[in-house]
Amino acid sequence: MEYPEFQGKTAIATGAASGIALLFLQKMAEYGANVVLCDVNQEAAEAEAEKIRANGGSAIAAKVDVRKYSEIEAAVNLAMEKFGRVDYLLNSAGGNSQRIFQQSGGFAKASPESIEWGVDVNLKGAVLFTRAVLPQMMEQKYGVIINMGSIDGVTGAAGLDYTASKAGMIGLSQGTANLGADYGVRSVCVSPGPVLTRPAMARMKTLLGRAAEVIEVVNLILYLCSDKAAFITGTNYLIDGGRSLAASRFW
């Protein structure tokens, strides 16, 4: 087994009914971890949890709107009741607010409601979920929190609520690393460029000429959670195929 240290541990992810978070938990379950799928779409999360159980894994699902601390806290309490510990958290819920709200015209014409949604889901939810798991991680002297950033949080982009939130995920990881250092708790930000979670991502240019496969991002996250990365904390990992370096070539 590539990561025997995951055996018997517990991993939680948000936005876990699809994409990077789902594959992360599927792989964690394969390595013997208990997994908790948190998603605003409870039906989809439960369906994916059932698939993991059918394949021999240990999985439960919880409806979580990351804007609501009561739902976050309930999911963490459920994990503790079922599995007795929380070891890994992937804060992955999020999205581009203008795409979600089907708005055009850029940030200058974005509705206040979409901007609030963007900041709340992409950043505030991660802060709140970190607050919910930290006491247990600190008590058990072990834990890893991975925050999903974006290349836009490093290079800047026109969707200001998204860019600001993803830059904030880097700061959240740094602050959590400082807070958790004396308690065996690490935190890292992972900032992808285009990833093939949506067909449109394939059109985004990178130095390597393609978007990332989801498993490529998940492999990095698994490594950062593992004991192989025990000396890594408070950093931001770009996994963007060189897109952040490509402005002079493509634009």
What is the C-alpha to C-alpha distance for residues 228 and 126, in angstroms, rounded to an integer?
A: 25
The answer to whether 141 and 204 have CB atoms below 8 angstroms apart is: no
3-state secondary structure the chain: CCCHHHCCCEEEEECCCCHHHHHHHHHHHHCCCEEEEEECCHHHHHHHHHHHHHCCCEEEEEECCCCCHHHHHHHHHHHHHHHCCCCEEEECCCCCHHHHCCCCCCHHHCCHHHHHHHHHHHHHHHHHHHHHHHHHHHHHCCEEEEEECCCHHHHCCCCHHHHHHHHHHHHHHHHHHHHHHHHCEEEEEEEECCECCCHHHHHCCCCCCCCECHHHHHHHHHHHHCHHHCCCCCCEEEECCCHHHCHHHHC
Encoded tokens for 50: 């059932």
Catalytic residue among 162, 183, 223, 237: 162
Q: 88 catalytic, yes or no?
A: no
Residues in the chain: 251
Which residues are annotated as catalytic?
Answer: 162
